[in-house]
Amino acid sequence: MKKLSPLILIAIICLTIPVLYAEPNLSIELDPEPQFGQLWAYETYLVNMSVQDMNLSSIDFSGFTGTPTGLLFDGEIKWRGKGGYDFGTGTTGYSLNLEKLSVSETVSLDANSAFFNLTLVKDAYDYGRLPFETIEIVFGFDAYVIMNDDITGPKIASKSRTLILVDEMKTSYLEGKYLNMQDEINSVVEALGLEGFNREKYLGILEDMNNSFTLGNYVGAFDIWDDYDEDDRFDLIMGLVRASSLQFTEITRLQIIEKQLEDQLQDTENQLQEAEDRLTIAQLEYTQLENTYNALSSTYRKVNSDLEISRRNFSTAITAVFLTAIVFYFLGRRGINREEAERLNEPDIY
């Protein structure tokens, strides 16, 4: 058996492998392209619907007669109001259909896309909506193949795109809410103490909303405000309560310590006063003792002086008595001697 040539082998393999085609894709684009998903009231936009990656061989035409001749873009644009109500810890949302515009555009297969102008002639107030509500503009289209017998063929793609209606009333409302939010947050952030309060979180919220205004992203600003109004404000209040409670506990602890220190200080002051009183009494006693000492010292000096005089007088008196005694002694001795001599000289008498 002869070997198959490489080219024939490749051809056989290609014929046995099913061909894969990309699914048709429908896109909806606007010009000017909406920034941040927002459409401005009273503006005109060019809406472009186009099909990419369309391959007729991949479309199932079973059940249809004729041959494909064109494309049909069929759909509608809906204006839908949305909002919510808070009650206690719960929230109820609602959605209202405000307006609907049907659109049907047919083009040839070669064109592959259709265009039409959309002018937004109403704002939220004209629809009876308030600034805290949202108006969605929903573009929903299907793409069909048109057969040569004017029969709508199979649907080949679908696309939906949702944008948000923005107007001057909405922007003014959000700018006012930003100022209110700024006042609320700054009044807490700038408060003294509250060491346990997460200031960075709420300053970050203000910064994010300010950046959204700077970029012109009012849809993002509304989301930030809505989150703050629904959750972050409550967290702000609870965080303030917790921080205040911690600060109150700390203040109470410091007050107890202060009271203890005051009591200790008062005891110390009482002890000091007692010591001062004792010192005053001791000073008085010392003064009295000093006066007594001075008096005694003066008396002692006087007595000592008198005693010295008496001593000198006494010494003189003793000396005089002693001399007198000696004189009398010698006089006495002389008298005795004389008597003895006279007795010896007397004659004997018988």
Domain covering 20-166, topology: Immunoglobulin-like (2.60.40)
| Residue for token pair 């005053």 | 280
Tens digits of residue pLDDT in 110-154? 888 999 999 999 999 999 999 999 999 999 999 999 998 888 999
Please tell me the number of Cα atoms within 13 Å of 251 on its side-chain side: 9
- pLDDT for 86 equals 67
Q: Is pLDDT above 50 for 18?
A: no
Residue 92's DSSP bridge partners are 85
- Give every CB contact of residue 78 below 8 A, 6+ residues apart in sequence: 97, 99, 100, 101, 136, 137, 138, 140
Among candidate residues 118, 151, 110, 107, the one with its CA nearest the CA of residue 34 = 118
Tokens 């008396």 correspond to 299
CA–CA distance, 172 with 192 (Å, rounded to integer):
32
CB 75 within 8 A of CB 158: no
| Res 60: pLDDT | 86
At 263, is the secondary structure helix, strand, or coil? helix
Whether pTM exceeds 0.85 = no
Lowest mean pLDDT among 79-88, 129-138, 149-158, 172-181: 79-88
Q: What is the pLDDT, as a whole number, of residue 328?
A: 72
Domain boundaries of the chain, sorted by first residue? 20-166, 167-306
Q: Which amino acid is at 209?
A: M
Q: Which SS3 state, helix, strand or coil, does residue 89 take?
A: coil
CB of 47 within 8 A of CB of 73? no
Residue found by looking up tokens 């004659």 in the block: 347
User: For residues 58 and 111, what is the distance between their CA atoms, to the nearest angstrom?
Assistant: 19
